[in-house]
Structures are given as structure tokens and as C-alpha cells.
Structure 1
Amino acid sequence: MMRLVKRGLMFGNLVEVKSPALVARYNRALKHLVGRETALQEFHVDISGYSPEIGDELGDDLYLNPNGCNRQFILLTTDQKTAPLLNAKFSTSREILRDYIEENEAELFVLTAREAVAGELLNSVFSIGSLEDLFEINRIEVEADTVQEHVAEADALRLHLDRFMGEQDAWWDDVLIANMIELAKRTGNIERHPVKLQDKTYQQGNYYTEHFGGIYVLRNMDRPAVILRHGEVGSDDLPVDQVLHFQTPEKIAKYLWRQELVEPIVTARDADVTAVIKQKLDFIALSVAAEQGEELGDLTRQDMRRISRRYADKMPPEYHGLMKVWRWASMGGEWPKISAQDPAWFYTVRASQGPDRDLINMLLADLSPRDFRQLFICHKDAFYAQYRRWSDSKKDYVARFLAEEYALDKAGTRAELFGAEPDMSPPPPRRRGPWDRE
């Protein structure tokens, strides 16, 4: 994994913590949340304050996420909002944390100037023992304060001030005035520098969870469904219309199409989208070559043609289906019909524009794992799991490709693969293309 770490493809964009003051603040917050401390003097944290170095030190990668259910967080700086979320058990957690930091950025900036802010993403369950428990999670509430409870004390001082200004005899209440003075010593001038975090509740709609080997919960749909990566998980009596499994991908394909969650990548002969299809073909060919023990090295276009010819009889079905699409789009070949039963189907579509775009692209990447670039962009945990099983030659090639081809222009690559950022307007009518509605 060090190939990825050195190129910033793993543990990248974490926030460095090395000043004694910040380390001390982190330890106070950690003690407050979980009753533990770190002996490390330097480490890095993600958006939630989780540190992989501390996780390794404590022998617990879930030290801020007990039972993988109610994520706790430690904010040392608002700069954490751009960091990734490591060991995420729910796909919605990072978006909630980032939104919360941005909503309260001014207040958090003031608070973290003197102390860490500790909090938790609260839902209605404290552990997940069955699939049914997932459907008990409907809302996520964010609860946060400093270890010294500056926010709670500011609220108390505000109530005292309201009473002092509103009650006629409050001037003679020595106890009230003494309490106000003591609170003001700790909170400062709350009129000039208000210390109040906005309460916010987030709806838990469609999401992915790592629990039970990976589950996509699509309940805000005309026909709610769950999609299981591992079919052996018990799934009786769930409040959905369909329970789908990765072992029957054609049923997933039909569901996604009928719910209008996907659209074809190629709808016309276009040089840009044709290049995307060609790269997907190359990724599949590379995976086959690596499985056959081929040393990849620095491959030229001629090398790619050689690999495709050498291992033509070993190419998987998705390669041949995708090749039909490429021939039609680039060379005027026969109009292809890619059915839901064809493994190439998931390589020929992308998520429709809408609020669930990232989640559906994550699912599509999971179902087209030979496209390592999309897997890395959309589902990093699945990418890392696959990466560990690859040959050294393929690890070298993929790490170099991602660092040199993707990392240099992330926004441009994402726009090319997935389209512009979605808005909330209704999608345009879909056009027919090289795919099959069935």
C-alpha cells in the first residue's frame, strides 16, 4: 500500500497535527469522548478527527466509531472540512460532517481557536445486529461542544441575560449576577462573539453501508430496494419491494434502468466518450494481462494492442460487449444491443444526474471492478481491497496511472466520466442508444 501512500492516493489530504497545543487539545477531547489518550506527538486526522496513526497505536480503527454506528468526531480546525473520511461505515457521514462544518464555520473557527470541539452523529440505534436495524436509522442529529462545554455555558449565560434584562427585580438577585460573572469569565463576550452552534438534523435517505459486507439501501424510490454485495445475509421481512444481490447483476441492471437511475455513456458517435470506452477496454485488458503474469511497465499504445491480441481468447465477456459499443461509436460498426444479462452493461452506463448520482456511481463501480479508475474514484474501500490482491506489476502500473493521469486533473476526469455536477432540475428525456431496456 506504500505505493499509494507515497503518491498521495491513500491517506491523502489529511490534516497534520504536530504542535504541542493541538496535540493536548486532541487528547482532552479524546479523553472526553472515549476515555483514552495518545502518546504520539505528531499524527494526521481526517474530517472526523480520526487518525490512522492513533488507530494503529490503540489497535482500534473504530476508536471514534464504536459499533460502526454513531460516528464521533474531534474538530481541531475548520480546515478538516476538505479532508476525506476514513473507515466510513455509511456513505452519508462525510457529507453530513462537511455540511455541518460549513454551516457553523464562523462559530467553529472561534471555538477551535482555544479548544477542540467534540461531538457525535446521533441516530436512533446504538448497534446494528440485523438488516432491519438499518431501517430504524431515519435521521442523523449532530451534537457538538468543546470539552469545557463553551457552547452549553454560552446558552446558559444567554438565558441568564434574558432573565436579567426581562425581570424587574433581577438587579437585586446577587446569585444570578454572580452566576453570570462566572460564566462570562469562561465564555467571553457572547454579544460581540456569539458562541452558538446551529442544531441540524439530516435525513438518512438512500445510502451505502459497510455493515454485513456492504449494502446499498435505496428506500426513497418508487420501488424501494436493498442491494446486497453478499447474498448470504438474511434479508426476510424488509420494508422494501425488492431485495437484490450481486450474484444476480442482471436484476440490478433492470432495477436501475426502470427507476431511471442510470443513463448510457454513449448516445452518439463522439470522440470524447469514445475515448472513455477505449480506456475502459484498456483497463480490462490490463487486468487480464496481469492475471496472466504479464509485466506491465510503461505501456505504449502499441503495447496495448499487443496485449489485446495476445490474450484475445482470455478476455472476459464484458470486454467483448464493450468492444461492440466502441466499434459502433468510433468505426461505424453494427448497432450493438447490450442486454441486462451482458456483463458489459455496467461498463456502458453512468448514474443519471440527481441527488443520488454519487451513490449510484459507487454501485456501478462496485459492479464493474475491472475499471480500476472508476473504482478508485467512487468506492475507495473496494479499490483498496482489490489492490491488495493484485500482482506487484499491476500495483505499480495502477498507482502510477492514477497519480499521473487522474490526480493531475481530478475535476476534469470526473466531469468527463460522470458529467457536470448535478442540479435539482428534472432530467431531460432519455435517448435511445447502444443498450437494451430489458
Structure 2
Amino acid sequence: MNRLIQSGLMFGNLIHVASPALVERYNRALKHLTGKTTAQTDFHIDISGFSPEIGDELDDPLYLNHNGVNRQFILLTTQQKTAPLLDAKFSTSRDILRQFIEANESQLFALTAKDAVAGELVNSVFDVSNPERLFDISNITIEADTTQGTLRDADKLATLVDRFKTEEDGWHDDVLIADMITLAKRTGDVVRNPVRLRVNTFKQENFHTSHFGGIYVFRSVEHPAAICAGDAVPGMPIAYTFTLRDRNKVAKFLDLNGLVEPIVKARGIDASAILRQKMDFIVVDVAQEAEIDLTGATRRDIRTLARRFSDRLPAEWHALSHQVRWSEGEADWPRIASDHPAYFYTLRASDTPDAELVNMLLSELSPKDIRQLYICHKEAFYAAYRGWTDTKQAYVVDFLTREYVADKAGAREALFGHDAPLEEPKPIRDDVIARVGPWGAVRR
């Protein structure tokens, strides 16, 4: 994996911690949360304050995420909001942390100027050894304070100030005044400059979890379901459970809930360019099997390989080629059924609040599209990367460095951005669906 790390495709955009003052603050927070400290004097942290170097030192990659739930965090700087979240057990965790930092940025900036802020993403579940417990997670509340209890003291001081103002003999209560002065030395003037974080509670309705081999949970859509990346997980309290192998059912689920749209019919994008790139990735897969050296391969080289190995190109490549010709007015509309291996390569998430989650799911259903897999599901990308030949690894790293890392925002917008729709989508429903559900009376 060194090639990925050196190119910034793995552990990229982490925050470097090398200042003795910041290391000392980190250790105070780490001791406060876990009872442990680090001997590291130079390390990197993600948005939650997790450090891969410290994880190796402690031999505990979950030292801030015990049992994979109720993730703890250490904030040394508000700049952490731009960092990734490593080894995320829930797809919503990074977004919750980022929203928390942005909503309280000025307060956190002031607090982290003197101390680390330590906290936890709290829900009512402390163990998910039983899959049913996943469905007990609905609201995530962030609890946070500095290691010296600045926020706790500020709340206490505010209470004392109220007493001082309202109690009849407050001006003559020497003990009350002495307590206020003592606390004010630690918190500052909480009357003019209140030190208080917003109470942040976030709903977690639809999400992906890496527990139980990976599960996509969709609870707030019209037709709820859980989709397992591995084998079906029994005992989940939801009407329908599928696996990624249930392609027809997954496709129907996505369609009925209006979660996807065909790439060739999406507005504001170059559909042909996107599909041609997917075709190139499929050619690279064929070239790997043929043990072709892909070092420095250009798009022209990939097209040459496509001609050379035309008899080996799989059904996905030919179906996407047909769609490209249709989009350019050179062929009839290709009918690609949901059980066709190219089907999910032809889709992207529609403009819904769950677009990122849906694109993550699509990336697992179209794994040869290495760009989408890297952008939307890094853990799945890293797992696939380990099984590739050295020549394919080199090609993929070179491609992503040139075509994605150079302009991440532009690439994401070109692939997944949404223009305003021409008209409001109409709800898809009929009497049969209303009576027995979209997949009939089948339950697992």
C-alpha cells in the first residue's frame, strides 16, 4: 500500500501534529478518554483525532472507537473539518463531525487555542453484536468539553452569575463572589463572551455500516430495506433484506424509491465521457488478466488494447459502448436489464439527501469502475487494490493522481453533481405496491 500512501491516495489530507504543545494537549485528551497516552512526538490525525501511527503504537485501531460505536474524538484545531475519517464504521460519522465543527467553529477555535476538546458521538447503543441493535440507533448527540472542563465551568459560572444578579443578598455573599472569581480565571467573561457549544443532535436514518460484512440500511425511504454486501444477515427488524447478489431486487428498490437515474439521461454532464472512462477501466481489467504492462498507459493506449483484445471484452464493455453510441445519435436505445452485468454501471444517484450513500452502494455493484470505487467507498477500493497486479496498481495510482487528485471538487461535480430537474418527480406507487410492498409478500 506504500504506493497509495506516497501518492496521497491513502492517509491523504490528514492533519500533521508535531508541536510539543499540541502533542501534550493530545495526550491529556487521550488520557481523559481512554486512560492511555502516546510516546509519539510526530503523528497525523483525521477529523476525529484518530492517528494511524498511534493506533499501531497501541496495537489498537479502535482506540477512539470502542466496539465500533459511540466514536470518541479529539479536536486540536478546527482545520480537522477538512480531514477524512479513517476506518469509519458508519457512513454518517464524518458528516456529523464536520457539521458539528462548522456549527461551532468560532467557539471551538477559541477553545482549541488553549486546550484540546474531547468528546463522543453518543447514542443509546454501546454494542452491536446483534444486528437488531443497529436499528436502535436513531439520534446521535455530540457531547464535548476541553480536558480542563472549560465548558462545564462556564455553565457553572453562568449559574453563579444569575444567582449574583437575582438573589437579594448576592452583593454581600463573599463565598459566591469568590467562587465566581475563581471560575472566571479559567473561563473568561462568560457574560460578554459566552463559552457554549450548541447542543447538536443528528438523526441517523439511512446509513452504511461496516459491521456484519457491510450493510446499507434505508429506513426513511418509501419502501425501506437493508442491503447486505456479504451474505444475508438474519434477524433485522426491517421488511425486506437483500444482498448485492439480488440484483433485480436491488434495482427495483432503487427505482421505486427514486434513488437513481441513468447517466445518459442526466442533465449537465458529459455522459459519453463518463461512460467511455468506465469502458477504459474494464479494458484495464482485461489487460491485467493478459499480464500486459500498463506503465504510463494513455487513453490512446487503452483504446489500442481494446482493439487488440476485442474478443476478450466482457458484456459490460459492449453494453456501455452501445449506450455511448445511442447518446451520440448513432444507435437505437439499448435495453439493459437489471440482471445484466453492465446495468449498475449505467446509473448514478439521483438528487436526494441520500445521494452519497446511493453512489457508495453503486460503487460496490460496479467494482470495475475504479474511480467511483475510490471516491465513494475507499475501504472497498483498498480491499480490491490488494488483489491487483503490480502493473494495474501502478496504472490506477497514476490515473487517480492525474485525473482526480489534481481537481477533486471538479471531478466530483462532473460525475455526481446535479442540475435542477426539468420537473418535479412523480411518486411511483400503485395499489399492488400499497397492499403487499414492492417485492410482493416475500419476507426474510
Q: Deviations over 1:200-251 (max 9, x none)?
A: 1100110101101110000001111000001143x23x33221110122221
Matched, 1:219 2:219: yes
Q: Which amino acid in structure 2 is aligned with residue 328 of structure 1?
A: W
Q: What is the match of residue 20 of structure 2?
A: 20
- Pairwise CA distance, 1:413: 1.5
Deviating more after overlay: 248-257 vs 351-360: 248-257
Q: Could you state the TM-score of these two structures normalised by the residue count of structure 2?
A: 0.92
Q: What is the match of residue 359 of structure 2?
A: 361
CA contact (8 A) 2:280 2:303 kept: no
Question: How far apart, in 1, do the equivalents of 2:388 and 2:48 lie?
Answer: 30
Q: Which amino acid in structure 1 is aligned with residue 122 of structure 2?
A: L
CA contact (8 A) 1:157 1:183 kept: yes
Matched residue SS, 2:328: helix
Q: What is the match of residue 8 of structure 1?
A: 8
Q: What is the match of residue 322 of structure 1?
A: 320
Q: Which amino acid in structure 2 is aligned with residue 391 of structure 1?
A: T
Question: How far apart, in 2, do the equivalents of 1:51 and 1:65 lie?
Answer: 12
Q: Which amino acid in structure 2 is aligned with residue 231 of structure 1?
A: D
Q: Which amino acid in structure 1 is aligned with residue 341 of structure 2?
A: P
Matched residue SS, 2:372: helix
Name the CA shift for 1:264/1:232 in 2 (closer, same or farther; >3 Å): closer
Deviating more after overlay: 113-122 vs 287-296: 287-296
Question: How far apart, in 1, do the equivalents of 2:112 and 2:269 lie?
Answer: 50
Q: Deviations over 1:262-314 (max 9, x none)?
A: 00100289992111111100101101211221111222344223322333333
CA contact (8 A) 1:354 1:422 kept: no
Question: How far apart, in 1, do the equivalents of 2:300 and 2:384 lie?
Answer: 27
Matched residue SS, 1:168: coil
Matched, 1:34 2:34: yes
Q: Could you state the TM-score of these two structures normalised by the residue count of structure 1?
A: 0.94
Q: What is the match of residue 194 of structure 2?
A: 194
Structure 2 matches for 1:75-86, cutoff 5 A?
75-86=75-86
Q: Which amino acid in structure 2 is aligned with residue 76 of structure 1?
A: L
Q: Deviations over 1:28-70 (max 9, x none)?
A: 0000000101101010111100011111111111110000001
Name the CA shift for 1:65/1:296 in 2 (closer, same or farther; >3 Å): same
- Pairwise CA distance, 1:417: 1.1
Question: How far apart, in 2, do the equivalents of 1:36 and 1:422 lie?
Answer: 51
Matched residue SS, 2:242: strand
- Pairwise CA distance, 1:427: 4.6
Q: Deviations over 1:176-203 (max 9, x none)?
A: 2222122112112222332111111100
CA contact (8 A) 1:270 1:329 kept: no
Structure 2 matches for 1:133-152, cutoff 5 A?
133-152=133-152
Matched, 1:159 2:159: yes
Name the CA shift for 1:372/1:158 in 2 (closer, same or farther; >3 Å): same
Q: What is the match of residue 173 of structure 1?
A: 173
Matched, 1:413 2:381: no
Question: How far apart, in 1, do the equivalents of 2:378 and 2:258 lie?
Answer: 25
CA contact (8 A) 1:270 1:330 kept: no
Q: What is the match of residue 294 of structure 2?
A: 296
CA contact (8 A) 1:357 1:422 kept: no
Q: What is the match of residue 210 of structure 1?
A: 210
- Pairwise CA distance, 1:254: 1.4
CA contact (8 A) 2:267 2:419 kept: no
Structure 1 alignment gaps of length 5 or more: 431-437
Q: Deviations over 1:107-135 (max 9, x none)?
A: 11111010000000001100101211100
CA contact (8 A) 2:269 2:415 kept: no
Q: Which of 257, 260, 263 is the equivalent residue of 1:262?
A: 260
- Pairwise CA distance, 1:106: 0.8
Matched residue SS, 1:135: helix
CA contact (8 A) 1:140 1:203 kept: yes
Q: What is the match of residue 433 of structure 1?
A: none
Question: How far apart, in 2, do the equivalents of 1:51 and 1:282 lie?
Answer: 36
Name the CA shift for 1:288/1:422 in 2 (closer, same or farther; >3 Å): farther
Q: What is the match of residue 91 of structure 1?
A: 91
- Pairwise CA distance, 1:321: 1.9
Matched residue SS, 2:216: strand
Q: Which amino acid in structure 2 is aligned with residue 92 of structure 1?
A: T
Name the CA shift for 1:151/1:323 in 2 (closer, same or farther; >3 Å): same
Q: What is the match of residue 184 of structure 2?
A: 184
Q: Which of 334, 337, 340 is the equivalent residue of 2:335?
A: 337
Q: Deviations over 1:8-30 (max 9, x none)?
A: 11111111110100000000000
Question: How far apart, in 2, do the equivalents of 1:349 and 1:271 lie?
Answer: 13
Question: How far apart, in 2, do the equivalents of 1:140 and 1:426 lie?
Answer: 35
CA contact (8 A) 1:73 1:118 kept: yes
Matched residue SS, 2:342: helix
CA contact (8 A) 2:223 2:256 kept: no
Aligned residues: 428
Q: Which of 400, 403, 407 is the equivalent residue of 2:401?
A: 403
CA contact (8 A) 2:349 2:359 kept: yes
CA contact (8 A) 2:280 2:299 kept: no
Matched residue SS, 1:266: helix
CA contact (8 A) 1:271 1:330 kept: no
Structure 2 alignment gaps of length 5 or more: 428-438, 440-444
Name the CA shift for 1:270/1:21 in 2 (closer, same or farther; >3 Å): closer
CA contact (8 A) 1:365 1:379 kept: yes
Q: What is the match of residue 278 of structure 1?
A: 276
Q: Which amino acid in structure 1 is aligned with residue 11 of structure 2?
A: F
Question: How far apart, in 2, do the equivalents of 1:87 and 1:421 lie?
Answer: 32
Q: Which amino acid in structure 2 is aligned with residue 6 of structure 1?
A: Q
Matched, 1:126 2:126: yes
| Identical-pair percentage | 55
Q: Which of 393, 397, 402 is the equivalent residue of 2:391?
A: 393
Matched residue SS, 2:64: coil
Question: How far apart, in 2, do the equivalents of 1:251 and 1:221 lie?
Answer: 15
CA contact (8 A) 1:268 1:329 kept: no
Name the CA shift for 1:410/1:208 in 2 (closer, same or farther; >3 Å): same
Q: Which amino acid in structure 2 is aligned with residue 360 of structure 1?
A: V
Question: How far apart, in 1, do the equivalents of 2:300 and 2:146 lie?
Answer: 60
